[in-house]
Amino acid sequence: MNLLGNILYDTIYHSTPIILAVLGGLFAYKANVLNIGLEGMIVMGAFSSSLSILLFGNFYLGMIIAVACTLIVGLIFSLFSITLKSNFIITGFGLNILVAAIGTFTLKFMKLSNINLSQIINVNDMKVAIPVVDGIPILSSILSNHTIITYVAFLLIAVVYVVLYKTRFGIHLRVVGENEEAAKSVGLKSDMLKYSSILIGAVLCALAGINLSAERMALYTDNMVAGRGFIAIAAIYCGKAHPVKSSIYAILFGLARSLAINLGLYAGPISGLFDMIPYIMIVLVLLFVSSMESKKTRLRGFRNA
């Protein structure tokens, strides 16, 4: 039961940055913008928050600076891909490489192998016990004692659903994504809506980076994001860009990561092999979803014939 409890707790733990990236990427996806730069935005959130906290010694100031820096990355992506009409994929990959290189260069320049915040941040103080749940034996070990951003991430699933499907902004965004010319013909400012969608995604990716580095590990090191931005894109595709369905896939990938870590503790010398579980899970899920979509397409063809 202890192992199961650890796996479920860690599933929530590892799902949080992916959920935030998924929810952020959904806005751009709904506006017909494939934001490949999610990975770089998470890296910028993680790096800039850690560096700012190290320099100024204040977690909340570090959060503000991280959000501002990630918004700049979002603005650059928007400028090139929307205003200058560059290719989304090339622009996104370029930003991912640039942001990662900035982090690596800064660490080399400061002669650091990583940014260690353990003298400034106590990660145990970042955890919040839920009063009612904390008294329930089994649930308390799974749902309680997570960080604030973790709880915010799960609450945002419902918030993003309401924004996308129940508000004027969400309706306009989806209209732009489905038929931009028709949206322009009724007076919608499609470029402004696209900019807004990318910048909202940048803010959520910044939170994902802050959660990943400063809030739960008090540490930043190269390659710590480990493809979570691309995992988020896979979750969006598998969930057909629906906030709840895509978040479920994000949790599934978080479960895969949790299994890899917890089972690896008992694997001895071959524990490194378990690190492949999340990536194998991604391939299998994408294969399954793609095959199901292919079957549905063939069935529609037979019916139309």
Helix (H) or strand (E) holding 115: strand 115-116
Three-state secondary structure call for residue 250: helix
- The CA distance from 151 to 160, in Å, is 14
Give the confidence band of 305 by pLDDT, cuts at 50, 70, 90: low
What's the burial of 137, exposed, middle or buried (CB within 10 Å: 0-12/13-18/19+)? exposed
Please write the tens of the pLDDT for every residue from 122-160: 888 888 888 777 777 777 788 888 899 999 999 999 999
Predicted local distance difference test score (pLDDT) of residue 182: 85
Residue 98: is its pLDDT beyond 90?
Answer: yes
Cβ–Cβ under 8 Å, residues 193 and 78: no
Q: Is residue 247 pLDDT above 90, yes or no?
A: yes
Q: Tokens 């935030």 belong to which residue?
A: 20
Q: What does pTM read for this prediction?
A: 0.91
pLDDT of residue 184: 86
Burial group, residue 191, by CB count within 10 angstroms (0-12, 13-18, 19+): middle
Percent of all residues in the chain with a pLDDT value above 90, rounded to a whole number? 58
Output b/e per residue, 258-286; b: 16+ Cβ within 10 A.
bbbbbebeeeeeeeeebeebbbebbeebe
Task: Report pLDDT digits (tens) over 158-217.
Answer: 999 999 999 999 999 999 998 888 888 888 899 999 999 999 999 999 999 999 999 988
Length of the chain: 305
CA distance 148 to 290: 35
At 266-301, the pLDDT tens digits run 766 665 666 777 778 778 887 887 787 777 777 666
**Rounded mean pLDDT of 1-22?**
88
Any idea what the Cα angle at residue 108 is, between residues 106 and 109, rounded to 5°? Answer: 60
Sign of the alpha-carbon torsion through 225, 71, 189, 193: positive
